[in-house]
Amino acid sequence: MTSSAGVAAPVLVERHGAVLVITLDRPEARNAIDLRTAEAIGAAIDTLESDPSLAAGVIAANGSAFCAGMDLKAHLRGERPRTEERGFAGMVEAPPLKPLIAAVEGPALGGGFEIVLACDLVVASASASFGLPEVKRGLVAAAGGLTRLPKALPRAVALEMILTGDAVSASVLSGFGLINRVVDPGTALATAIDLALRIAENGPLAVRTSKRIVVESSDWPADQEFLRLREAAAEVFASADAREGARAFAERRRPAWSGS
C-alpha cells in the first residue's frame, strides 16, 4: 500500500469483521517509530474508537521484528515520533477505550515494548523477546515503560529488566502473567485476531465499561471502591444491551447488540 504521494505507507490497516488490525510496515527499519508512523497509528486508533461497528483492535508488525522502538535516525533529524492527542507512537499516553491486543513476533524493544505495555492483552510468538534497553544508551524508558512494567510484573523482576536493559523471552514473561498466549512462530497475528473476535461477540458497552473499571479502579480509595463500581456499572445494567442479552439467553439465540 502506498500513500497518495507514492510513498509506502508505514502502517497497514484492515478489518476482520468487528476487529481492526493495525500492522507496522517498516521492516527495513525494524518497524522503528518515526513521526509518519506515529501519526498513522494515531489515525488508526481514532478509527477504532469512533467506528461503532468496530469492537476491538490488534496491533502487529511485518518483518523479523515487532518494533525496535524510536527511530533514532529520525530523532537525530529532529523528529519527535508522537502525536499531541496520544503521545509516543500515536497511542501510549491515550490507548483506546476499546480492547487492544498486541500480536508480537520477534523483538519488541524500547518504545516497541512500551507499545505492547499500552495494550490490554498480549499474544506472542515463542521467538519473541521484550526489553527496555534505554539505559544502555544513557536514556530512560519515558513512554510508559517505567510506570507500566512495575504494575505488570513483580517489582524486582521489572527493576531488573529496567536497570540492566536486557531482553527477556516470551516464555519467561508468560510465567509472570505478562503474556496471555505464547504461540508457534508465525501464528501470533491469527491467534490475536481470533481472541479479538471472541471479545467482539460480547456486548460492546459491557466490554468498554469493564475495561474502564479495571483501568481506573487501581486508584480508587478502598472505602469508595464499591460505590464507584456501582456508579460505573449502573449505565450497563440499565442499557438496551443488558435487556437484549437477557432476552437472547432466554430465547437461545445470539444477541443483536446495539451498543446502548
Let me know if 84 is a catalytic residue. Answer: no
**Cell 483501568 belongs to residue:** 215
Residues in the chain: 260
d(CA 176, CA 96): 25
Let me know if 85 is a catalytic residue. Answer: no
d(CA 114, CA 221): 28
Rg of the chain over Cα atoms, rounded to whole angstroms, equals 19
d(CA 73, CA 75): 5
Contact predicate 203/255, CB 8 Å = yes
Pick the catalytic residue from 39, 49, 93, 114. 114
Pick the catalytic residue from 134, 231, 244, 251. 134
d(CA 66, CA 115): 10
Catalytic site positions = 114, 134
